[in-house]
Chains A and B, each alone.
Chain A
Amino acid sequence: MALKIPVELYDQLRQHGEATYPHECCGVLVGEFDDVGGKAVKAAVECGNTRTDSLANRYHISPSELVRIQRDALLAGHDIVGFYHSHPDHPAHWSATDLAEAHWTGCSYVITSIEQGRAVLTNSFILLDQEEAKHFEDELLEVIQ
């Protein structure tokens, strides 16, 4: 299983994290699922972070934005295949909060570490299993040149 993303979209989501530093950025990955659990990203939709009380270490995407993005994706023959956010001055690995707040089983959660305003590592994790047993596993992030 892998998340395939064109290099321009990969660069876009990393630049989003740099632009919002020292705050977390967030967005939605729209694309296609294949028959073996892989995903191909066709668009990265930048979202606002509505966690205005704690922008440096929390993110939340407005459900109304998700509704619009999901509707537009379906009309275009695509799906929501994942999400991305940044970890300002923190490793590109999921946190306990990330897992607790993750509910899109089968989707990718892409995390970029931003150190002193510069994007460093970008990793992808896939959310597996039902809510009570959910967990993240490392996912190959394949950047397409």
Chain B
Amino acid sequence: MSIKVLIPTPLRPYAGKQSVIEVNAQTVGEALSDLVTKHPDLRKHLFSEDGKLRSFVNVYLNDEDIRYLSKDATSVKETDTITIVPSVAGGR
């Protein structure tokens, strides 16, 4: 099925400058896989060399962090939205 992935501003140069991309997937893992298949330049910005999500990349299914769901195996449905947000932190 087709679901939406929201792309944050820093990753849009690697995603055809699009803010929303439709992917075909049954799970979050399939959605991310389809995303980087369609936009290969995104891969190194989302995943480390061992294939895991980079530590500062957060992936949400609607309002839930996938780390607290079933991670890549989390099922998706057509009305769902996946959002990618890099972390924001710092300090003096």
Contact = CB atoms under 8 A, between A and B. Distances in A.
8 interchain residue pairs of minimum CB distance: A58-B91, A103-B86, A98-B90, A63-B58, A101-B89, A60-B89, A90-B92, A105-B10
A102 B90 CA distance: 7
Interface residues of B, number: 24
B8 interface: yes
B10 A63 contact: no
A107 B10 contact: yes
Interface in B41-89: 45, 54, 56, 58, 60, 63, 65, 81, 83, 85-89
Nearest to A26: B88
A70 B56 CA distance: 17
Interface string A53-70: 010011111011011101
Interface string A102-115: 11111101000000
Residue of B9, B54, B60, B86 with most partner-chain A CB within 10 A:
B9
Given A63-B65, A80-B9, A103 B90 contact: no
Contacts of A61: 87-89
B42 to A, nearest CB: 12
Residue of A67, A74, A83, A99 with most partner-chain B CB within 10 A:
A67
Interface of B: 6, 8-10, 13, 19-20, 45, 54, 56, 58, 60, 63, 65, 81, 83, 85-92
